[in-house]
A and B are shown apart, each in its own frame.
Chain A
Amino acid sequence: MADPLLIVRDLSMTFLRRAGLFGRRTHQIRALNQVSFTIEAGETFGIVGESGCGKSTLARCLLRLLQPTGGSVRFDGVDLLALGDEEMRRMRQRMQIVLQNPFSSLNPRLNGFDLIAEPLRTHMELSRKEMTDRVASLLAEVGLSGEFMSRHPHQLSGGQAQRIALARALAPNPAFLILDEPTSALDVSVQAQIINLLLRLQRQRGLAYLFITHDLSVIQHISDRIAVMYLGKIVEETASEEIFADPQHPYTQALLSSTPMPDPASGGQRIILPGTAPSAANPPAGCAFHPRCSEVMEQCRTVFPAPRHTAPDHQVSCHLYDHAQ
């Protein structure tokens, strides 16, 4: 088997915030805490978590829109964190991101043609004719007609705008797409259209996806493997089916149980987590989840559980599974 497309090792991101009068006090916000995972070419890796868990920070660190404070990111054999700014800028044509809300991620002053042509202009020397042909074929690929070249974002529906954003991301022929909540701002019927489109594009282009969302039912549908994040750490990682069949971390179990299912008959025992996620500026000692965990033990309050394999492709960071391996 070929090397993985993306290898992330111990990636950490700590923000420094100044507080107090004249900013004399600083405190650290550990948005990412030693996150490790790999993504194979052509596969979809899902990251699920609630707001503040660090999933969007992770996306930005991978593209170096934020400079991580620790760890390493190897993309296609290249150490991204060692690249100079100009090399990184050129590398970005191979890895692209689609953001949650197309109406804020598309410049309102540009029309469809200019939006999709921008990455082509940035990375390639093309004649006007070649450019128009490329934009037309990209539009067709995302299911839009050529007339969308002259439309501005405010003339589009949410689904159409997200298709334009997708065409723009595909323009430089990337091998890897980061999808940061790409369907969260869309209605159900449109969400289904975009998910189908993403699946088709992956089959046709052999793309690898990093799919970030808070919605478990969407992520299990599209992902091969799923990682669950809580307060800057991956607490569980396994194959997509396993997350539903055999959730092991108490947080994963609660998340699963909290997700409303469109099936009135499924109304079984719900796990309602108490309280809210603690702030990354002041994380609890030991396992960050312990203040809300129903199965908390003494060691959870002091020792962070190391990730352990409970099955060949199932990794969980929880003291309940200390005996495993």
Chain B
Amino acid sequence: MAILTVENLRVRFKTPFGAVYALRGIDFELAKGQTLGLVGETGCGKSVTGRSIMRLLDDNAQVTHGRIIFEDKDLLQVDDGEMRRIRGNRIAMIFQDPSAALNPLFTIGQQINDVLRAHASNTREGRQSQIVELLASVGLPDPAQMADVYPHQLSGGQQQRAMIAQSLAAQPDVIIADEPTTALDVTIQAQILDLLRTLQRERAISVILITHDLGIVAETCQHVVVLYAGRVVETGSVAAIFADPQHPYTQGLLAALPRPGSRGADLTVIPGSVPSGLERIAGCAFAPRCEHVMDRCRGHQPALAEIGSAHQSACFLHEASGDG
């Protein structure tokens, strides 16, 4: 059952150079209790998608089309007051850089207290014990003392834990984590991903994990949405996508990764680079880099089509093989 559905979401940015088409029709569903990986390279629109759901886009962005359905409500239509209640209360966001997302002037405890006071009716003492509980649940040492600590006194990994504790304070149903471990070291990243897995399992939270790292997706997510140039090119279960990628872009991405035992061999390369978003793309955005490109790819946009159980891909190749 889907807790959050994104339908044909289109977003463009006004820039001095003209309109940049960041999202060109995104569709996906987040199932209840699931961890969904939004994966793609720089400029594919994965962060814009997360911010669109939270309605946290910059002023020069414009949602031109689409619906974001959360519990029978279109988040793009609800008024600002209601959106504020949903944001934080029901849907929380974790950012890449916790040091920028935490207010340096307040202690960790004060910042969590603010969330608790806004979202739950509780006494001061009740909140205090809740803060300690939350800090303990994200694995911070000495949670009672941690409440009185300022963000700069924490390491990067601890700051990220504190931010996760803050986002958990309102007991959200959905957490959107935008590259939550990109700024962290590998061993600290492993800690945070482990924490996210545990929280998701124990609290039945649905998570959208935005990342560029296919390894993180493979280890953390159940479902994957692969984005390219503002569109979904392939989506499916982690097992299906990694074992049997169908879209040439997904295949290229996976083949481009260095793996143990491949030493010194040439890696498979996707030629060229991603489109800038400034130009309107008539056909499949990946066509200029695709080795299987056909005539119709340049003029027509392939739609997502079912190619297996819970596995969809947007490529004319599947039709060709299906028909023949």
Q: Which residues of A contact B (CB under 8 A)?
A: 50-51, 157-160, 187-193, 195-196, 199, 214, 216-218, 220-223, 240-241, 244, 254-255, 257-267, 270, 272-277
Beyond A257-B190, A258-B186, A264-B239, whether A192 also contacts B215 by CB under 8 A is: no
- The 3 A-B pairs of least Cβ separation, nearest first, read A260-B215, A221-B258, A258-B190
Pairs across A and B, CB under 8 Å, 9 listed:
A50-B185, A157-B273, A187-B41, A189-B41, A214-B185, A241-B263, A262-B242, A267-B218, A276-B185
A261 to B216, CA, bound (A): 7
Tally of contacts, chain A with chain B, CB under 8 A: 132
Main secondary structure of the interface of A (DSSP, over half): helix
A229 to B139, CA, bound (A): 27
Contact B263 A261 (CB under 8 A): no
Contacts of B256 in A (CB 8 A): 188-189, 191-192
A234 to B157, CA, bound (A): 24
A158 to B41, CA, bound (A): 12
Contact B190 A276 (CB under 8 A): no
A214 to B189, CA, bound (A): 12
Distance from A278 Cβ to chain B, minimum over Cβ atoms (Å): 10
A295 to B38, CA, bound (A): 38
Contacts of B187 in A (CB 8 A): 50, 254-255, 258, 272-273, 277
Interface-central residue, B155, B186, B252, by most chain A CB under 10 Å: B186
Partner of A189, one of B215, B253, B260: B253
Contacts of A199 in B (CB 8 A): 264, 266
Contact A272 B194 (CB under 8 A): yes
Contact B273 A190 (CB under 8 A): yes
Q: Which residues of B contact A (CB under 8 A)?
A: 41-42, 141, 155, 157-158, 185-191, 193-194, 212-220, 238-239, 242-243, 252-254, 256-270, 273-274
Contact A260 B219 (CB under 8 A): yes
Contacts of B220 in A (CB 8 A): 260
A216 to B185, CA, bound (A): 12
Contact B218 A217 (CB under 8 A): no
Interface-central residue, A193, A254, A274, by most chain B CB under 10 Å: A193
A244 to B264, CA, bound (A): 15
Contact A196 B269 (CB under 8 A): yes
What residue in chain B is nearest A273 (Cβ atoms)? B187
Contacts of A220 in B (CB 8 A): 258, 260, 263
A60 to B252, CA, bound (A): 36
Contacts of B273 in A (CB 8 A): 157, 159-160, 189-190
Distance from B216 Cβ to chain A, minimum over Cβ atoms (Å): 5
A275 to B267, CA, bound (A): 35
What residue in chain A is nearest B213 (Cβ atoms)? A260
Beyond A196-B266, A257-B190, whether A187 also contacts B260 by CB under 8 A is: no
A159 to B185, CA, bound (A): 23
A190 to B220, CA, bound (A): 24
Contact B41 A188 (CB under 8 A): yes
Contact B269 A189 (CB under 8 A): yes
Distance from B176 Cβ to chain A, minimum over Cβ atoms (Å): 20
A254 to B217, CA, bound (A): 19
What residue in chain B is nearest A219 (Cβ atoms)? B258
Distance from B323 Cβ to chain A, minimum over Cβ atoms (Å): 30
A50 to B181, CA, bound (A): 14
A261 to B262, CA, bound (A): 14
Contact A221 B190 (CB under 8 A): no
Contact B186 A244 (CB under 8 A): no
A51 to B188, CA, bound (A): 11
A179 to B7, CA, bound (A): 44
Beyond A189-B252, A218-B258, A221-B262, whether A195 also contacts B188 by CB under 8 A is: no
Contact B157 A276 (CB under 8 A): yes
Q: A262-B217, A276-B157, A276-B188 are known contacts; what are 5 more A-B pairs with Cβ within 8 Å? A: A50-B188, A157-B273, A195-B267, A196-B269, A262-B218
Contact A264 B218 (CB under 8 A): yes
A270 to B259, CA, bound (A): 18
Beyond A188-B41, A188-B253, whether A259 also contacts B269 by CB under 8 A is: no
Partner of A264, one of B157, B238, B257: B238
Distance from A229 Cβ to chain B, minimum over Cβ atoms (Å): 13
Contact A217 B186 (CB under 8 A): no
Contact B218 A273 (CB under 8 A): no
Contacts of B262 in A (CB 8 A): 221
Distance from A227 Cβ to chain B, minimum over Cβ atoms (Å): 16
A275 to B216, CA, bound (A): 20
Interface-central residue, B141, B185, B220, B252, by most chain A CB under 10 Å: B185
Contacts of B259 in A (CB 8 A): 217, 221, 261-262
Contacts of A51 in B (CB 8 A): 185
Partner of A221, one of B214, B215, B263: B263
A261 to B252, CA, bound (A): 16
Contacts of A223 in B (CB 8 A): 263
Distance from B34 Cβ to chain A, minimum over Cβ atoms (Å): 15
A255 to B186, CA, bound (A): 7
A273 to B157, CA, bound (A): 12
Contacts of B42 in A (CB 8 A): 158, 187
